[in-house]
Amino acid sequence: MAGLTDSLWIAGSGILAQQRGAQITSHNIANVNTPGYRRQDVVLQSRPPTTLGVDAKMIQHATDVALTRQRRTAGAQNGYATERQAIWQAVEAELTPSSGSTLGADLGNFYGAWRELASAPDDLSQRSAVVTRTEDVIRGFRNAAAALNNGQQDADRSISAMVGQVNTLSAQVAALNKSIALTETTGQQALDLRDQRDAVIDQLSALVGATSFEDERGQATVMVGGGIAIVQGDNVRNLTTTRNAATGLHTIATADGAAINLDSRLSSGKIGGLLALRDNELPSRMAELDQLAYDFATTTNTAHQAGVGLDGVGGRDLFVPPATIAGAAAGLALNPVIATNPRLLGAAQNAASLPGDGTAAQALAALETSTIAGGGSQTAAEAAGSWYANIGLTGQNIDNAATTTTNRLATLTDAESSLSGVSLEEQMILMTQYERAYQASARVLTVVDQMMETLVQL
């Protein structure tokens, strides 16, 4: 009788184990399209010889920690690259005027107008044409500076908004840490909650290059900026942005009493890419543009001061002299007295040669071939061409980085999905296996029960 009773218990364990397997398989199938869900597998273990049978020992995730870490790193790199790409493409679009005219072309037209004035210095219409071409150059410099400034401001606004997203996501991780701890202290597994937490950490990684580790209690610690914890257990360390009075741009720091500036420490994720663009690439291109505007304005002013207007007065600046190199492009302006009176353009060599002398105008036009820019190695037009070429080259490099990181992220995501995702075909096969095993165990129960009834009737 004891043997038959043991058989009942063995068959019962089989029914319970297969029932658990079918339950988890159904759960997998139900979540086949749930973002961040990782397949759950039932671990069956045979009982020792003293009891026999089977137990559904545990439910485990189908996962590879190293692969997940690689995919998150790739996601952070992709976030870095694609955010830079979006801003840079907008800058390039602004730098491509609808008229098709570039700064280099405007400079060529400017010098051409002075050459024509040299041949007809007393022609007021030609003098007005010089003013018009000068204003075109000014507009070209200002528009280019505005495009760079707009890109910087767009990046700054995005950074400020994304810091708020980081704080929101950090709070979610902390809340999930707490829920996981409460669930697992009762002896239950919190695999679904862990999936949700990992999905949030994925977003933090893409946003700010966050890394994480799990302690012995299953609590995730999330770090940014080379080791600054923003989540520990259910505690959150928020980030904040403060506008820098000198630059007008936002500075990122921890929001607690011992505030730590993070601008130079965030080098990955979307925020890292925006910081690099805002604080490095765009200011570098602006510095180059300002230097060109400064060199062009000061050299042109020197040449113009040597000329005399139709009023017989010389020594005038064509441009309002730039006070500093920084801001020279955005601040470039035509001397207001000349803007309202083209007769004051200095085209003659001296008052005695008026009105038909265009010697000074010819000298100014000759600056077109003088190496006044690039540290004395380029003409103004060549420097403008190099500047636009650098813009294009930077854009190409940014596009290539975005393509490369997007492809790598897709490859790693596919690899992780193959390992951790739910295959409906595989799950249906498992469901069939569990069903047949369940039916077999149930059949054993029926047979043993019949045997016990026969034994009782003896």
Mean pLDDT, range 78-89, rounded to an integer: 97
Spell out a b/e string for 334-372, using b for 16 or more CB atoms within 10 Å of the CB, else e: bbeebeeebebbbbbbeeeebeebbbbbbbbbebbeeeb
Q: Is the pLDDT of residue 99 over 70?
A: no
| Tokens read off for 59 | 């439910």
* Contact call for residues 311 and 338 (beta carbons, < 8 A): no
Q: Is the pLDDT of residue 314 over 60?
A: yes
Strand, helix or coil for residue 250: strand
pLDDT digit string (tens) for 400-428? 999 999 999 999 999 999 999 999 999 99
Strands 228-232 and 239-243: unpaired
Q: Is the pLDDT of residue 8 over 90?
A: no
Spell out a b/e string for 110-139, using b for 16 or more CB atoms within 10 Å of the CB, else e: bbebbebbbeebbeeebbebbbebbebbbe
pLDDT digit string (tens) for 353-398? 999 899 999 999 999 999 999 999 999 999 999 999 999 999 999 9
Mean pLDDT, range 238-242, rounded to an integer: 95
Mean pLDDT score of the chain: 94
**pLDDT value at residue 100:** 62
Per-residue confidence band for 349, with pLDDT thresholds at 50, 70 and 90? very high
**pLDDT value at residue 364:** 97
- Report percent pLDDT > 70 for the chain: 98
Residue 218, class by beta-carbon neighbours within 10 Å (0-12 exposed, 13-18 middle, 19+ buried)? Answer: middle
| CA neighbor of 387 nearest in space, from 81, 141, 146 | 141
- Report percent pLDDT > 90 for the chain: 83
Q: Is the pLDDT of residue 177 over 70?
A: yes
- Rounded to two decimals, the pTM is 0.88
> Whats the size of the chain, residue-wise?
458
Strands 239-243 and 250-254: antiparallel
- Tell how far CA 313 is from the center of its chain: 56
Distance CA 334, CA 130 (A): 11
**pLDDT value at residue 193:** 95
| Tokens read off for 182 | 């409460």
Distance CA 428, CA 432 (A): 6
376: left (phi over 0), alpha (psi -120 to 50) or beta: left
Q: Which residue has the tokens 């007769």?
A: 343
CA 27 vs CA 64, 153, 208, 428: distances in Å:
21, 47, 33, 12
* Contact call for residues 33 and 21 (beta carbons, < 8 A): no
| Tokens read off for 126 | 């030609």
For residue 355, whether the previous peptide bond is cis, meaning omega lies within 30 degrees of 0, is yes
Torsion 30-34-39-44 (CA) sign: negative
Distance CA 297, CA 289 (A): 12
Helix or strand (DSSP H, E) at 45: strand 40-46
Q: Is the pLDDT of residue 2 over 90?
A: no
* Contact call for residues 82 and 406 (beta carbons, < 8 A): yes
| CA neighbor of 25 nearest in space, from 45, 43, 40 | 40
Per-residue confidence band for 328, with pLDDT thresholds at 50, 70 and 90? very high
Q: Which residues pair with 212 in a beta bridge?
A: 222
Torsion 123-129-133-139 (CA) sign: positive
pLDDT digit string (tens) for 134-154? 999 999 999 999 999 999 999
**Number of CB atoms found within 10 A of residue 109's CB:** 16
Interior angle at CA 126, CA 122 and CA 132, nearest 5: 140
Spell out a b/e string for 172-207, using b for 16 or more CB atoms within 10 Å of the CB, else e: bbbbbbeebbebbeeeebbbbbbbbbbbbbbbbbbb
Per-residue confidence band for 431, with pLDDT thresholds at 50, 70 and 90? very high
Alpha helices (runs of H) in 233-379, residue ranges in sequence order:
269-276, 282-305, 328-331, 336-340, 359-365
**pLDDT value at residue 395:** 95
Distance CA 238, CA 260 (A): 11
| CA neighbor of 256 nearest in space, from 274, 229, 224 | 229
**pLDDT value at residue 11:** 87
